Amino acid sequence: MTTPTPAEERITTEGPVYTVTGGDWDTLLDEDHDDRIVINMGPQHPSTHGVLRLVLELEGETVTQARSVIGYLHTGIEKNCEYRTWTQGVTFVTRMDYLAPIFNEVGYCLAVEKLLEVEVPRRATVARVLLMELNRIGSHLVCLATGGMELGALTGMTAGFREREEVLHLLEFLTGLRMNHAYVRPGGLAQDFPDGWEEKVTEFVALMRSRLPDYDKLLTGQPIWRQRLENVGYLPLDGCLALGATGPILRSAGLPWDLRKVEPYCGYEEYDFEVPTATEADCYARYRLRVAEMHESLKIIEQAVQKMEPGPVMVADRKVAWPAQLSVGSDGMGNTLEHVRKIMGQSMESLIHHFKLVTEGFHVPAGQVYTSVESPRGELGFHLVSDGGTRPVRVHVREPSFVNLQTMPAMSEGGMVADVIAAVASIDPVMGGVDR
């Protein structure tokens, strides 16, 4: 620091007053300098959109540059699948996008079944559709709830998680688990739905039909909510296409791209439903789209209940069908004493076959395949490579959260730092899928 300049004397009614100043501050203020500041937003979780770190360069409160830093939730799921049998892979992929586990399981199993060239029984296919649409509703509810919490709408958060609990209760009744189900298996399902499932599903649809309009009263028409989201996080159609964005982000820009319609799978061409779109391409449009999609999912669930016919839920090929049509034991894995006695009582050959099927797995013909499903966040694709063995050579996932996260800088740069929160909430990334 430079030597202070001599203090100047100023006479007042109370006597002389001296003002001491430092010469360095005046010279610093006269020099050219950079007003920009770099801050970390995160990594934080409880309970936002996962462990995500955003590095923001600010000029005042305006974001001049934004970039995302990922990898804090890396689990090595893709590589783990390459060291497990084809069936065991289901227990790993279900943990990627943990808010949409059923979609991970179905996408993976569709790819394995394409390599095997097997056709899944109709009852299993319809059940998959029913479970996926239930899961879509649950995922969208979490998006609305966490987005509301981040923006200060705490009532929206409590309402969203209240309804999501209804979804999880129903999924637990149907599959045995609230999350990470491993219920969809190559060739079909682990087991059939329990007795009374039709009544439970019908009650859930009626409950959601009565509660969904509350979100319009609470949020959609709420002036503060609209002003907070309208014209925020704008990303037009050309930007979406350039960055590979899919799901509600792409549909909010006006393109009705939904794989259930454009490339149907699991018999979606038989179902009557609409693909909601908007043209505003902002956070508010994405919010309204997700609410509209929940209404469409309820329509699909009702149709799936009507289409469900009696029959098996696993292919008849005993070299693939594991562990289908087993009653669940106390370990939750289907290894009940009755089943073990049945296997051991048949023949030594059946016991050996069962043992080899469970420990080594089945062989999948050599080749590679790509299949995709429309997850709540967009196109979820699986690229599987087989060398003819009992485990995959390569498992690679086209995860929509990972691709959609690239839109964050385009939505945020040039806007206010507070609007970054709204933009990320409208993207709805799940970091388990991003890092996988």
Per residue, what are the HEC states of 226-273?
HHHHCCCCCCCHHHHHHHCCCCHHHHCCCCCCCHHHHCCCCCHHHCCC
Residue of 228, 183, 160 lying closest to 93 (CA atoms): 183
25 and 146 in a single domain? The answer is no
Q: What is the pLDDT of residue 387?
A: 92
Residue of 189, 186, 163, 162 lying closest to 174 (CA atoms): 189
Would you say residue 273 lies in a domain? Answer: yes
User: Given 23, 40, 65, which residue is the final one in a domain?
Assistant: 65
44 and 185 in a single domain? The answer is no
Q: What is the pLDDT of residue 22?
A: 57
Round to whole Å and give the CA distance between 269 and 263.
Answer: 9
User: Average pLDDT of 210-231?
Assistant: 88
3-state DSSP assignment of residue 9: strand
pLDDT higher than 90, residue 59: no
Residue of 271, 139, 115 lying closest to 187 (CA atoms): 115
What tokens were used for 398?
């086209």
The pair phi, psi for residue 372, each rounded to 5°, is -140, 150
What tokens were used for 155?
């009532």
Would you say residue 274 lies in a domain? Answer: yes
User: Average pLDDT of 270-275?
Assistant: 93
Q: What is the pLDDT of residue 336?
A: 62
Round to whole Å and give the CA distance between 341 and 347.
Answer: 11
What percent of the chain lies above the pLDDT cut of 90?
Answer: 49
Q: What is the CATH number of the domain that holds 177?
A: 1.10.645.10
Range of weakest confidence among 92-96, 214-218, 334-338: 334-338
Q: What is the pLDDT of residue 17?
A: 78
Domain of 173, in residue numbers: 74-320+362-435
User: Average pLDDT of 148-177?
Assistant: 89
Round to whole Å and give the CA distance between 308 and 130.
Answer: 10
179 and 36 in a single domain? The answer is no
Q: What is the pLDDT of residues 289-328, one digit of tens each?
A: 999 999 999 999 999 999 999 988 888 877 777 654 455 5
pLDDT higher than 50, residue 165: yes
Give how many domains the chain has, as a whole number: 2
189 and 286 in a single domain? The answer is yes
151 and 197 in a single domain? The answer is yes
Q: What is the pLDDT of residue 45?
A: 65
172 and 291 in a single domain? The answer is yes
Q: Are 416 and 51 in contact (CB under 8 A)?
A: no
27 and 140 in a single domain? The answer is no
Q: Cα dihedral sign for 234, 238, 242, 248?
A: positive
Would you say residue 218 lies in a domain? Answer: yes
Would you say residue 116 lies in a domain? Answer: yes
Q: Cα dihedral sign for 227, 229, 234, 236?
A: negative
96 and 173 in a single domain? The answer is yes
What strands, in cross-sheet order, belong to the sheet with 52-59? 36-44, 52-59, 62-69
